[in-house]
Structure 1
Amino acid sequence: MKKTLQIIILLLLAVPAFAQTGSLKGKVLDNNQEPLIGVTVLVLGTEKGAVTDIDGTFTVGNLPTGQAVARVSFVGFKTVELPITIEANQATTLEDITLYEGNEILQDVVVTGERINQFSREQTAYVSKLPLKDLENTQVYSTITNELLVSQTVTNFEDALKNATGVDKLWTSTGRGGDGAGYYSLRGFSVQPQLVNGMPGLTNGTINAANIDRIEVIKGPSATLFGNSVGSYGGIINVVTKKPFAGTGGGINFTTGSFGLNQLTFDYNTPLDAAQDIYFRLNTSYQYKGSFQDAGFRETFFVAPSLTYRVNNKLTFSFYGEITKAEQTNPTMLFLNRAAPSDAPDLDALGYNNKLSFTSNGLTIATPTSNFRGEVSYKISDNWTSQTVISTSQTTTDGYYSYLYDYGVYPGNIFTRFINKQNAQTNTFDIQENIIGDFKIGELRNRLVFGIDYLEAKSVDNSSGYAYYGNVSPTGELFPDNPFTPATETGPFPLTTSAVDQAIAPLANGSSVVRQNVISSYVSDVINFTPSLSVMAGVRLDRFENLGDINGEGGFDQTTLSPKFGVLYQPIADKMSIFANYQNSFNNVAPALVGDPNAGPQTLKSFDPEQANQLEFGLKTNLFDYRLNATISYYDIQVSDKVMTDPSNPFNRVQEGTIESSGFELEVNANPIDGFNLRGGYTTNESEITETDDANQLGTRPLEAGPKNLYNFWASYELQNGSLKGIGFGFGINGSSERAVLNYANTGTFLLPEYTIANASVFYQVAKFRVDLKVNNLFDKEYYSGWSTITPQEPRAFLMSLKYRF
């Protein structure tokens, strides 16, 4: 026994001789010599790595001895690789590592470590096409992080956008050709999500939430860097997708819930070569969801492959793809008459039974979409980088689309149903070249982007005409007679494909073809006069060409300059900034025929592009070691040069229409203590049509402006210690003031009531597992959205989510 014990002791003493290890320590700084938190340090050829803490330091332990390479990477900074030597039982200390800012979308591998404030993202390369921190950017934007979406068990894009300050849904995604994506109000104007990773990315349905790394809602007119094809005067919605990262990992998630919801997602990332220079990521999702109404569903399958190949320290290739197959019934919307008085001023008078869908699950519309993107990044020098990006998008609409419209023929708000067969397709091709520099002229630091952008878009619509298909009351009563024909209709207009096809058969199909080309160049420079004082200046030259129909008729072209200017001062470095900006956007206006047709041939009159100009000022903070992030701003947007009928000559058109939109915004992201994250926002907006030839609209609030007041809040807390560690809770609200979905002098006003919706969750996570239980619309509030329409929103819904990470 004694001999055996001696042998065991000798073996234990010998283990270190056979398994010598060491460690690596260091500190990571930015080029202003400030510590960087959340930087990933990976020792290649091992599974060892670390993330820098609040003072920029890191330690990687239990490393095998010998020669190795440490890769240091961080969002918005250029990745560096450092040769290291690990010695037995010693800590190898690297001198302070300085990372220089580069473009996030040029990164070969992007790894984000744990952040203190889970609901805020401090840096992005998309908003300004330069890697600027939020405190350095004169533009206001809201970032919705993936961590926030996970904490809320978000399964759809509409719920994700409820976290953006000042954004409200106007119109549910219809899937119809040309404009089938959802519409949202932002700073008094309607906007659709049409930007993916900073490039055009169309959809005619809803965006799949499974592939979202974050959503960036860029506020205000933003044509200087992005053009006018992907946003509105209120701003732009940019979806940043998940990308390959250094290492192997992923997860699987199953969510089930009310109204037949079942969703399965799978995410896997892996290197494809021994040198770990090629990374592949696959994200895929299947979802089926029914409706709280008597009919309605949406079924989607989604796959998103992505690949990054780091050829060497200078050259990187990347590819991203998103392919969605979707089929749905189009959502129920009651269209109010914009030209005749409404018999009902509100929902109580309308007597609407919102459990009725006025459709059937047999009348569906397919909306497949695809977005592909390729990038080539070449590091010209330490100060200059070239980025070439090519993207393509395709949307298709194939199926039945119906809507209910109040023609005002019947008393009592009787709605006429029209149905057509959609057959439309939109294709875009975009190629963009950016030269990004970070250099000094004398003592002035310049961060500059110069770009050339070419966008080509073609839309083909061969949809059928709309067939009359009966009338219904808001309570569901059928009125079969067609008020527009002398003959009596037989009814009962069954909601089947065969019956609808028979009604559509006599109607001719359309043959619309719209082709547009846009070629642009832009330059933007952020100049630091001092470390605390910077100025941003930019301008875009935009050449728009509408190529007309298939025969080239009806085409026109316009050339526009779009400037941008901002100034920013940090009274407390990296903690507080005061900013002001001037931003511009525009809209191309087609020529119009003018002149009295009774006096001779009319002439074609050309117009300048419509213009929107914003002045904004505010305050941004990032206090208490990244625990409190806040933005407060006031903006004023003036839209001018809207074409309208000449008040003194009904046969002439003049550019004298104007709209004013101004407002106040507050957004706060905070992490008061470890495990406790909260996010809140409030906005108020005043919008008015101040000049128009239409007396019915003069002085009114535009319908697209949405509600005047919006607010949102979400808080999540996870226990950090003890036997209950890993258990957490979440609670939040979303609210809106009343809104006018009809507001003209000749129609009167139809108001949708104000609302406050509460949501709550409980979760438990341990090691690689997480389970969430969530209740949306906790108190089962009845509420609506609309834009000259009435769309009921979902009542109380329960969700359960099971996640496993590997």
Structure 2
Amino acid sequence: MKKLLLILPLLLLTNVVISQTRTVSGTVKNYNKQPLFGVTVSLKNTTKGTLTNEDGNFILSNLENDNYTLLISYLGFKTREINVSISNNQDIKLETITLYEGNEILSEIVIEGERLNKFSRKKTAYVAKLPLKDIENTQVYSTVTNEILKSQIVTNFDDALKNATGVEQLWTSTGRGGDGAGYYSLRGFSVQPQLVNGLPGLTNGTINPANIERIEVLKGPSATLFGNAVSSYGGLINVVTKKPYVGTGGELSFTSGSYGLNQIVGDYNTALSKEDNLYFRLNTAYTTEQSFQDAGFRKSFFVAPSLSYKVSNRLSFSFYGEITQAEQTNPTFLFLNRSSPTVASNLDELGYNNRLSFTSNDLSLHNPTQNYRIEMDYKLSNTWQSQTLLSKSSTSTKGYYSYLFDYGILGGNTYSRFINKQNANTQTTDIQQNFIGDFKIASLRNRIVVGIDYFNETQTNNSTGYAFYGNITPNGDSNGDNPFTPEVENDTYPLSTSGVDAVLASQGVSNIKSRYHIYSIYASDVLNLTDNFSAMIGLRLDHFDNEGDLASIDDDFTQTTLSPKFGLLYQPIKEKLSVFGNYQNGFTNVAPQLVGNPNEGPQTLKTFDPEQANQFEFGIKTNLFNNRLNATINYYDIKVKDRVITDPSSPFNKIQGGEVVSKGLEIEINANPIKGLNIRAGFSNNYSETTKTDNTEILNKRPLEAGPETLYNFWANYEFQENTLEGFGIGFGFNGASERFAINYESTGEFMLPSYTIANTTIFYQGEKYRIGLKLNNAFNKEYYKGWSTINPQQPRTLLANISYQF
């Protein structure tokens, strides 16, 4: 009886305690109001948690009076945090909780209201092949958003990239076979835009900005996740396209401007079946433009259909296509002498009349391009998903291509024109299988991607040989004296198809088809050692199988390379400030190159050993004042060995060997200090040098592909928010570069292109469904040039007018 009397109060006390614990319950659904099964619902900073049932319902029991933060997370969806407070021993019944997809790999549809800092969008699934915020990513990258492009009335890809920190155009698109896309300098190395939505997407011409959601410029060697086929040691350029969204709507836009520019752009999105979650989007554009020079034009028709189909909460499909039909005259750069001293060392001595094109509109190139991408995503579990990807690209060149080269034989700044008829095609196929996980091992969070990748590229070249087609001088004089014959000729060379065809009739036609394959396996893991401290570890194994010229087995070879990646990141202030460092490796299984002067006989294929690059980098990233100030400050050091370069003594030959170093500082700022005002600014300084080589022509000199040492860009856009000026806005910005070497070899001396600063401004009115804008590019009509052993004049002052209607 005594024991019973002692136990009874304890039982009563226990019953009172239990009766004072309460519950939190609710239902989780997606944006289509369908219940989500298996969603993780947990209490932040505790071990308490549960999963939703088949009806999307959950309940958390045995909770005491206190304040809690619920974490609702589901793979492929944005994690939500909800604050709840239990008091007076009352149960909490939450209203329906809606989750929105947040992983772009799953073709997400994100509906945003007023968004702060419109020039910054730094959460992406492509950079790390994981849905990773910029502030927790050890990789440095610049993002050029669609909002920037709209505010600047951007009509071409070159102008869009002026907003990326540390990127400078080396030369514009030539349209020629194989490598006719534009070249850009990034961290001291040349790169072409060859990535679309994280997969290979080639072009021989210019990229149409009508379908661009944003441009991501990844900095540094990125072979670990992307391989060598689409990246350089300075980084890579990834174009993210517009995708279907839930709803019906679109936009129609027209832009007209100086030098015959007319561009009409259409964007339409609709549901093919709301019940089946089947949505379709179509972007299209037609552009015509003439040159500021005496001849030259570009016209293109572009269409991009895309489709998304969500079969269930676990399975989804998507399709993206880009089809371009383009025609243009190729820009006839002045190629400087690479083997003997130049007569002129600067533009003043050259006497260049940059309004002369040295071509005619009768001589053009056609550049049809197609890119396709199919994706299947399947949610294997609450922590793992499968992603299957297929991409195919085809790009062709047909027409007349010419170049002007100073051989130094005739003297007096005389440039000889050589021309051929191009007929080339490049086709690629890429197949990827990724497994993406987000799970914990011994309380340590792992975000991991494991993938296999197969890439194939086939090139066909049935172009004619190059024929001499007269000489010019930069001031506009011409003559017909062939520098490679002993006689002095006075032949005339009309810039017409009939005249060119007559000369090319004696030239042979190439019959070269080459192919190579890359088989890869890779893995990358972001490991949270603590809530504020994480490590990124990655590794890629590539097997390169080159078939070379299919008509010959002599140039066949295989190579295997290993590319590691490692990074550490610490957030002294969670989600606001991070300090990071990384080691990145890049490699290039150098594809065989056609070498040999085409004027002396058929060109041949030459093979090379793999190149290797290693980068060390450190810096800080910020996300302050509720996302109103994003900044990245970083320093990098890259060293490349076994570099393949163009032979200084011949533009038709490639040589290998030596070591190149590239190091520098980069600063990028995106700010939204007050409502309506968005600011973007960038600065970069790069030091590059060839430190080791047997070729004394380039030893201890800055590589020409490194471009200017210093680059800077700025753009500010303000829209009035109230009173009579509401909807009106202004924009102003500038971009510039220090002087650069157009040529810099021991035997040639230097030819320096001057520094420049270009100012641009815009005014606009944003109505409820329409926008009207005026843009002035190169406002002060600055004469400036770019080049890479070439001299390429840039466009003078231009005025653009734009009107768009949203529906």
**Corresponding residue for residue 42 of structure 2:** none
**Corresponding residue for residue 691 of structure 1:** 692
* 1:418 aligned onto 2:410: no
Superposition pairs of residues 629-648 of structure 1, within 5 angstroms: 629-642=630-643
Give distance in 1, aligned partners of 2:759 and 2:26.
Answer: 44
**Corresponding residue for residue 16 of structure 1:** none
Give distance in 2, aligned partners of 1:552 and 1:759.
Answer: 53
Superposition pairs of residues 154-303 of structure 1, within 5 angstroms: 154-275=154-275, 277-303=277-303
1:74–1:112 CA contact under 8 A, matched in 2: no
1:483 CA drift (Å): 2.0
1:112 CA drift (Å): 4.5
Let me know the Cα RMSD of the aligned residues.
Answer: 2.7
**Corresponding residue for residue 526 of structure 2:** 526
**Corresponding residue for residue 456 of structure 1:** 456
Given residue 571 of structure 1, which amino acid in structure 2 is its aligned partner? P
Secondary structure of 2:349's match?
Answer: helix
**Corresponding residue for residue 789 of structure 2:** 788
Give distance in 2, aligned partners of 1:74 and 1:212.
Answer: 30
1:610–1:639 CA contact under 8 A, matched in 2: yes
1:78 CA drift (Å): 2.0
Given residue 304 of structure 1, which amino acid in structure 2 is its aligned partner? A
2:419–2:466 CA contact under 8 A, matched in 1: yes
Superposition pairs of residues 531-546 of structure 1, within 5 angstroms: 531-546=531-546
Give CA deviations for 1:424-476 in whole Å, capped at 9, x if unaligned: 00000110000000000011000000000000110000100111000000011
Given residue 247 of structure 1, which amino acid in structure 2 is its aligned partner? G
Give CA deviations for 1:666-702 in whole Å, capped at 9, x if unaligned: 0000000000000000000000000000111100000
**Corresponding residue for residue 772 of structure 1:** 773
Give distance in 2, aligned partners of 1:309 and 1:591.
Answer: 41
Query: Identity rate of aligned residues, in percent?
Result: 62
* 1:78 aligned onto 2:70: no
Change (3 A) 1:676 1:497: same
Superposition pairs of residues 740-779 of structure 1, within 5 angstroms: 740-779=741-780
Give distance in 1, aligned partners of 2:387 and 2:201.
Answer: 18
**Corresponding residue for residue 322 of structure 1:** 322
1:531 CA drift (Å): 1.0
Give CA deviations for 1:315-371 in whole Å, capped at 9, x if unaligned: 001000000000000013100011111000000000000000000011010001000
1:630 CA drift (Å): 0.2
Give CA deviations for 1:57-93 in whole Å, capped at 9, x if unaligned: xxxxxxxxxx999xxx999942799xxxxxxxxxx96
Given residue 536 of structure 2, which amino acid in structure 1 is its aligned partner? M
Change (3 A) 1:43 1:656: closer
Secondary structure of 1:635's match?
Answer: strand
1:714 CA drift (Å): 0.2
Superposition pairs of residues 648-797 of structure 1, within 5 angstroms: 657-797=658-798
1:511 CA drift (Å): 1.3
Change (3 A) 1:605 1:751: closer
1:76–1:124 CA contact under 8 A, matched in 2: no
1:716 CA drift (Å): 0.2
**Corresponding residue for residue 390 of structure 1:** 390
* 1:431 aligned onto 2:407: no
Change (3 A) 1:775 1:27: farther
Secondary structure of 2:173's match?
Answer: coil
Identify unmatched segments of 5+ residues in structure 1: 1-25, 30-39, 46-66, 82-91, 593-603, 646-652
1:549 CA drift (Å): 1.2
Secondary structure of 2:163's match?
Answer: coil
Give distance in 2, aligned partners of 1:748 and 1:174.
Answer: 27
1:412 CA drift (Å): 1.7
2:78–2:103 CA contact under 8 A, matched in 1: no
Which of 126-135 and 543-552 deviates more?
543-552
1:75–1:111 CA contact under 8 A, matched in 2: no
**Corresponding residue for residue 407 of structure 1:** 407
Given residue 492 of structure 1, which amino acid in structure 2 is its aligned partner? T
Secondary structure of 1:243's match?
Answer: coil
1:533–1:570 CA contact under 8 A, matched in 2: yes
Secondary structure of 1:272's match?
Answer: strand
Change (3 A) 1:245 1:665: same
Secondary structure of 1:547's match?
Answer: strand
1:76–1:104 CA contact under 8 A, matched in 2: no
Change (3 A) 1:74 1:754: farther
Which of 606-615 and 418-427 deviates more?
606-615
1:111 CA drift (Å): 3.9
Give distance in 2, aligned partners of 1:74 and 1:802.
Answer: 42
**Corresponding residue for residue 59 of structure 1:** none
Give CA deviations for 1:528-581 in whole Å, capped at 9, x if unaligned: 011100000000000001112123421111000000000000000000000000
Secondary structure of 2:549's match?
Answer: coil
Give distance in 1, aligned partners of 2:524 and 2:251.
Answer: 40
Given residue 415 of structure 2, which amino acid in structure 1 is its aligned partner? F
Change (3 A) 1:717 1:533: same
Which of 456-465 and 270-279 deviates more?
270-279
2:417–2:470 CA contact under 8 A, matched in 1: yes
Given residue 244 of structure 2, which amino acid in structure 1 is its aligned partner? P
Give distance in 2, aligned partners of 1:239 and 1:280.
Answer: 20
* 1:611 aligned onto 2:615: no
2:107–2:243 CA contact under 8 A, matched in 1: no
TM-score computed with the length of structure 2 as normaliser = 0.86
1:395 CA drift (Å): 0.3
1:74–1:110 CA contact under 8 A, matched in 2: no
Give distance in 1, aligned partners of 2:291 and 2:454.
Answer: 42
Given residue 665 of structure 1, which amino acid in structure 2 is its aligned partner? E
* 1:479 aligned onto 2:479: yes
1:766 CA drift (Å): 1.0
Count of aligned pairs: 719
Give CA deviations for 1:387-442 in whole Å, capped at 9, x if unaligned: 00000000000000011000001222100001100000000011000000000001
Identify unmatched segments of 5+ residues in structure 2: 1-24, 35-54, 58-71, 81-92, 594-604, 647-653
Change (3 A) 1:235 1:511: same
Give CA deviations for 1:649-669 in whole Å, capped at 9, x if unaligned: xxxx99861100000000000
**Corresponding residue for residue 367 of structure 2:** 367
Give CA deviations for 1:264-289 in whole Å, capped at 9, x if unaligned: 00000011113160000000000000
Change (3 A) 1:274 1:231: closer
Secondary structure of 1:313's match?
Answer: coil
Give distance in 2, aligned partners of 1:656 and 1:322.
Answer: 39
Change (3 A) 1:27 1:617: farther
Given residue 733 of structure 2, which amino acid in structure 1 is its aligned partner? G
Give distance in 2, aligned partners of 1:216 and 1:74.
Answer: 27
Give distance in 2, aligned partners of 1:457 and 1:740.
Answer: 33
Secondary structure of 1:723's match?
Answer: helix
**Corresponding residue for residue 87 of structure 2:** none
2:463–2:510 CA contact under 8 A, matched in 1: yes
2:739–2:753 CA contact under 8 A, matched in 1: yes
Secondary structure of 1:447's match?
Answer: strand
2:102–2:108 CA contact under 8 A, matched in 1: no
**Corresponding residue for residue 803 of structure 1:** 804
1:643 CA drift (Å): 6.9
Change (3 A) 1:276 1:79: farther
Given residue 310 of structure 2, which amino acid in structure 1 is its aligned partner? R
Give distance in 2, aligned partners of 1:719 and 1:591.
Answer: 56
Give distance in 1, aligned partners of 2:415 and 2:112.
Answer: 52
**Corresponding residue for residue 18 of structure 2:** none
Given residue 349 of structure 1, which amino acid in structure 2 is its aligned partner? E
**Corresponding residue for residue 11 of structure 1:** none
1:739 CA drift (Å): 0.3
Change (3 A) 1:478 1:299: same
